[in-house]
Amino acid sequence: MPEHRDHAAHRAPRWPSLRGAVGVALVLALAGYLFAANAQLARVGNGREVQDLPGLVEAERERNETLAGEARALQAEIDRLTDLVADGAPESDPMADLVRLAAGRVPVTGPGVTVSLTDAISSGPRPAGVTNNDLVVHQQDLQAVINALWSGGAEAMGLQDQRVISTSAFLCVGNVLLLHDNVYSPPYTVTAIGDPDELIEALYDSEAIQRYLDYVEAYGLGWEITVTDSADLPAYEGAIELEYAAVPGADEADEAVAG
């Protein structure tokens, strides 16, 4: 394991036919909306100065309910177009299967790792200058783990009991996690499917994770990596929210089918 730096160092702020061909284009276009954005995992400030926790939780739930409705509508359209492409094709359509897999819309299983992070024990004596804020897992800690695992070649990812993709957004408020209209308390677990050795190497190559490990040693924050031969991840059922990303030619394909 890499050496840790001075524990007194400042903890950085964590922040087949024409119809079939057109159908394929539209399936790919809609699937693009599921993963075209890049690592949009956290879209708020540092999460340390929240004044109205109940109000924020309720607002986030309402927002996720709206976005979940959009996700269900898009998934229904993908299902419809996949059936269109499969009409007259072999029973198993490799293209449709690949689209669903890449979009995270099917459960997956495979080797990988699970990383667990948890708060330190807050009771008892503590070093001078240490506050409760230093003893909890922050949003940027989870984000660092997820980003490192993606960079290490993760093929699928889960946070708690939810599947996440590149456009998944989560929020830490105090010592709770908001994800896909659910509220979680620590310990927080991130599961990634991929080559375990490469995933672990990517974790320890991360400077952000090295800073977290300084706090693990100094203050007792929780950190555990478990290697598994068979990790199971559910299908992604979260919301989709892309404001700027679009698949080129999607409008023309849509008009062709409508015509």
CA atoms of 81 and 78, how far apart (whole Å): 5
Tell me, yes or no, whether 12 lies in a domain.
no
pLDDT winner (highest mean) among 3-7, 37-41, 87-91: 87-91
Tell me, yes or no, whether 135 lies in a domain.
yes
Parallel, antiparallel or unpaired: strands 222-233 and 108-118 = antiparallel
Tell me, yes or no, whether 2 lies in a domain.
no
Beta strands in the chain (DSSP E): 108-118, 156-159, 162-164, 170-173, 176-179, 182-184, 188-193, 222-233
Tell me, yes or no, whether 9 lies in a domain.
no
Instruction: Determine the average pLDDT of the residues in 110-136.
Output: 88
Instruction: Determine the average pLDDT of the residues in 73-99.
Output: 66
> Do residues 192 and 159 make contact, with C-beta atoms less than 8 angstroms apart?
no
Tell me, yes or no, whether 6 lies in a domain.
no
Tell me, yes or no, whether 10 lies in a domain.
no
**What's the number of domains the chain is made of?**
1
Tell me, yes or no, whether 214 lies in a domain.
yes
Tell me, yes or no, whether 206 lies in a domain.
yes
| CATH code of residue 76 | 3.30.70.1880
What is the span of the domain harbouring residue 167? 18-258
3-class secondary structure, 233? strand
Instruction: Determine the average pLDDT of the residues in 23-34.
Output: 51
pLDDT tens track for 206-237: 999 999 999 999 889 999 999 999 999 999 87
**pLDDT at residue 54 tops 80:** no
Among 126-130, 149-153, 201-205, name the one with the lowest average pLDDT.
126-130
